[in-house]
Structure 1
Amino acid sequence: MNYQETIDYLYSRLPVFQNIGARAFKPGLHTTHQLCNHLGNPQEKFKTIHVGGTNGKGSSSHMLASVLQEAGFKVGLYTSPHLKSFTERIRVNGTCIEEDFICEFTAVNKSYIESLDPSFFEVTVAMAFSYFEKCEVDVAVIEVGMGGRLDSTNIITPLLSLITNVSYDHTQFLGDTLDKIAFEKAGIIKENVPVVISEKQDIDVTAVFELKASERNADLSYGSEHFEIFNAKHVDGKLIVNVFDKVSGELKYDHLVLDLAGIYQLKNICGVLTALEQLKKPYLQISREAIYAGLLKVVNNTGLKGRWQKLHEKPLVYCDTAHNYAGVSYTMQQFNSLPSHQKRFVIGFVADKDISAVLELFPKDGQYYFCQPGNLRALNAAELQQKASNIGLKGNVHSDVNEALKAAIFESSPDDTIYVGGSTFVVADLDVI
């Protein structure tokens, strides 16, 4: 099979969560263990860093990978879902996995895969580990897919675990309270492996993490207790911050520049910097210069897209992959702070999430362009229009995000602003990404 035939086979033969949702959800580690045992347990052949959390785990994973690249390491990076191409999920020093490897891996293991009947995600995780072994990476940053405890990535024993935060998402799988969700996230905490929590949250969430860390004899630290961000400002599309070290009582980083400019990165960066401090001690040589350069060049080094990404000037257009209440609340805060004559919103969602609270975050005086992502989980745009209309959000239905954005730009004056989002998959459908 050539590359396209191989990808078609993987998508058609294996259940894919991003397309069909709950029917593809296959919790548990047994099948991934079997797959990796069959491959010779490649995940044991290189160092790893495991990154989970509700929001920010993708950005944090890319920031860590970028810094490690600047420090001179050969770095694997596994993330999901992809925006444009399957190959984006598996990268080495920012370069996507080779199509030939995907074809060869699938062909060689096809019979075993079919006998095992794994999910698409389980095969993808095993493929990533196999590719990182082949490429002889020094370290791989592995992003959790969903939850943590029963996520397919959770067969690794990392140098360090990083959990960004806990908020409501995938509640039908992870639980309907924050402490239940925290329990699933805490599942990546390993015996004698240090864990960093980016944000210290409410007492119930904190109690879950501290109990699990105690049970696993894992040293636990909080990014928000180690570092404090001040004098944050946006300049030329970059986020510039000063970082105070609460432990030493000193200014740690002066004029630290991030090319990921979403204001939610102010929370992520404390966790990333704390994780790097932990990694520097016994494991990896990481200079200040690597930290400065890595955080400045995340997009260039890793290929990350869709995080508070500017798409157009006059009118100013931003897209963001935020797709749950906590994530969208931050992007709306940032978007609404932009000077604007008229705010316009190109939005679409998946159907298997309750979006009622998320819709309440959008302003009533905005102009709306309703669309739907191009996958099987899509919420019909006309149904979205009705849900939005019920709370006072008015606008027209469009066939897809590109037509919606085209209409929004056409109807805008140069000093209007346009937001594109609601779902990762809406952003992925953009032609301009």
Structure 2
Amino acid sequence: MTRTLDEWLAYQERVNVRSIELGLDRVREVWQRMGAPAPARRVITVGGTNGKGSTVAMLEAMLTAAGQRVGCYTSPHLLHYRERIRIDGRDADDDALVASFERIEAARGEIPLTYFEFGTLAALDLFARAGLDVAVLEVGLGGRLDAVNIIDADVAVITTVDLDHMDWLGPDRDSIGVEKAGIARAGRPAIVGEVEPPAGLLQALARIGATVERAGVDFTVQREATGWQWRHRDGLTLSLPDPALSAPVQYANAAASVAALHALQRMDAELATMDLAAAASSGLRTARVAARLQVLGGDPALVVDVGHNPQAARALAEWLDARPDMRVHAVYGALSDKDVAGVIRALGERIAHWHLAGLEQDTPRGLSAQALVEQLAAVLPGARFDAHADVASALKAARSAARPGECVLAFGSFFVASAVLAESARLDWA
């Protein structure tokens, strides 16, 4: 009997009792049984703690502007599973996904696959059938043992390395950096987007034999009154527009994206004539990605961000510091494996009132509002807050409390962002 897409996704959640199972042997074996076709002529793999989704979006927009046929694989999704796989700027449709899942199921036999591994194989399968020029693959967790790493990247991008998923990746930036370095390949470019990367990352890239290009060393950013300049050690200088994605950290993501295309251009004859400045400029003006400081309008304004770890919270703090007179009401929910105290500490007194939302109804990993209350009280004893059973209740309360000229900032998890995006449409926030 043919399953619908929703039925397939429910099946994938049941077929493997482990939601996360790092390792490449199982997924590589299934891919080989499927013929292991190349997903595209060239592959860029993007890893890192934060900034992956924005970097993928910029690469997609830049390559499309250069006339390339592009496929992108990202995770998790916000409103619909189809968002995870895009070909030529369009989300995969249900029928294509169902057909791909059927092919994967026929090939896997008794090999167990996780929900993420099914999705990764589906992306690779659909990309290979589309005859793409470039596939851009986002790492789901870590890098070295993540399912996307069964594909050899022509160019690897590592955006940032910070403390997250420590139960899986290690206790410090050095050990986490080693895991993220695993997406690089010997003799191929590895773009490091962070000016001060951990030594563990650089040492691992050296052991692999990758050709490392570092932000602040091999390419630099110079902000100007309007726009910015990107400079490479080989003498190339590009004058570029400000990214449409508004957070200050997006300049680092943009610089890494341009460095990746510059590296790819040097190794691909079909891209040799690409006007890098024109492609990068067009991509920066048009790249959009949901829930990355996404302003949904209204007064008070509603802003949504998927930031869920201390590094992302520091980026939010930097954005708020540029708006010191804006009073902020936070709608915040978190998962049990996140550094809630670190997030709260990074934002500190920039938040006028916290609306703490329980996520235990959304996922077994979700923290209750009471757990968040306890963390907030420990870090910011004087903070003003209200506790709510779910995100919808927290958003409604924040909207009632905020006044014109103020801001409601919803963040902390993809579960928060997806709920707010759905609820804001229902409330007609704008």
Match of 2:307 among 310, 317, 322: 322
For the residues of structure 2 that align with 1:341 and 1:191, how far apart are their CA atoms? 48
TM-score by length of 2: 0.90
After the TM superposition, which residues 42-61 of structure 1 pair with which residues of structure 2 at under 5 Å, given as runs?
A: 42-43=37-38, 46-61=41-56
Question: Cα distance, 1:319 vs. partner?
Answer: 1.3
Match of 1:193 in 2: 188
Question: Cα distance, 1:199 vs. partner?
Answer: 1.6
Match of 1:19 in 2: none
After the TM superposition, which residues 157-236 of structure 1 pair with which residues of structure 2 at under 5 Å, given as runs?
A: 157-201=152-196, 205-206=198-199, 208-231=200-223
SS in structure 1 of the partner of residue 228 of structure 2: strand
After the TM superposition, which residues 9-24 of structure 1 pair with which residues of structure 2 at under 5 Å, given as runs?
A: 9-15=11-17, 23-24=18-19
For the residues of structure 2 that align with 1:375 and 1:192, how far apart are their CA atoms? 42
Mean Cα deviation higher: 366-375 or 26-35: 366-375
After the TM superposition, which residues 76-225 of structure 1 pair with which residues of structure 2 at under 5 Å, given as runs?
A: 76-113=71-108, 115-201=110-196, 205-206=198-199, 208-225=200-217
Corresponding position: 1:290 with 2:279: yes
Determine if contact 1:385/1:394 at 8 Å carries over to the other structure.
no
Determine if contact 1:189/1:212 at 8 Å carries over to the other structure.
no
For the residues of structure 1 that align with 2:83 and 2:160, how far apart are their CA atoms? 24
- Residue correspondences, number: 412
Q: Percent identity?
A: 28
TM-score by length of 1: 0.89
For the residues of structure 2 that align with 1:409 and 1:290, how far apart are their CA atoms? 40
Q: Tell me: CA distance 1:411–1:270, structure 2 relative to 1, closer, same or farther (3 Å).
A: same
For the residues of structure 1 that align with 2:67 and 2:192, how far apart are their CA atoms? 26
Corresponding position: 1:277 with 2:267: no
For the residues of structure 2 that align with 1:54 and 1:28, how far apart are their CA atoms? 19
Aligned amino acid, residue 5 of structure 2 = Y
For the residues of structure 2 that align with 1:268 and 1:309, how far apart are their CA atoms? 16
Q: Tell me: CA distance 1:336–1:345, structure 2 relative to 1, closer, same or farther (3 Å).
A: farther
Which consecutive residues of structure 1, in runs of 5 or more, have no partner in the other structure?
16-22, 234-239
Aligned amino acid, residue 342 of structure 2 = A
Question: Cα distance, 1:263 vs. partner?
Answer: 1.2
Match of 1:18 in 2: none
For the residues of structure 1 that align with 2:40 and 2:290, how far apart are their CA atoms? 29
Q: Tell me: CA distance 1:341–1:291, structure 2 relative to 1, closer, same or farther (3 Å).
A: closer
Aligned amino acid, residue 245 of structure 2 = L
For the residues of structure 2 that align with 1:331 and 1:141, how far apart are their CA atoms? 26
Determine if contact 2:331/2:409 at 8 Å carries over to the other structure.
yes
Match of 1:236 in 2: none
Determine if contact 1:160/1:195 at 8 Å carries over to the other structure.
yes
After the TM superposition, which residues 331-346 of structure 1 pair with which residues of structure 2 at under 5 Å, given as runs?
A: 331-340=316-325, 342-346=327-331
Q: Tell me: CA distance 1:366–1:218, structure 2 relative to 1, closer, same or farther (3 Å).
A: same
Aligned amino acid, residue 205 of structure 2 = A
Mean Cα deviation higher: 260-269 or 36-45: 36-45
Dislocated runs of 4+, deviation >6 Å = none
Determine if contact 1:340/1:417 at 8 Å carries over to the other structure.
no
SS in structure 1 of the partner of residue 282 of structure 2: helix
Which consecutive residues of structure 2, in runs of 5 or more, have no partner in the other structure?
426-430
For the residues of structure 1 that align with 2:262 and 2:55, how far apart are their CA atoms? 14
Question: Cα distance, 1:70 vs. partner?
Answer: 0.9
Match of 2:358 in 1: 372
Determine if contact 2:40/2:133 at 8 Å carries over to the other structure.
no
Match of 1:356 in 2: 341
Determine if contact 1:224/1:270 at 8 Å carries over to the other structure.
no
Match of 1:241 in 2: 227
Corresponding position: 1:31 with 2:16: no
Please provide the CA RMSD for this pair: 2.1
Determine if contact 1:372/1:426 at 8 Å carries over to the other structure.
no
For the residues of structure 2 that align with 1:123 and 1:185, how far apart are their CA atoms? 21
Match of 1:252 among 217, 238, 252: 238
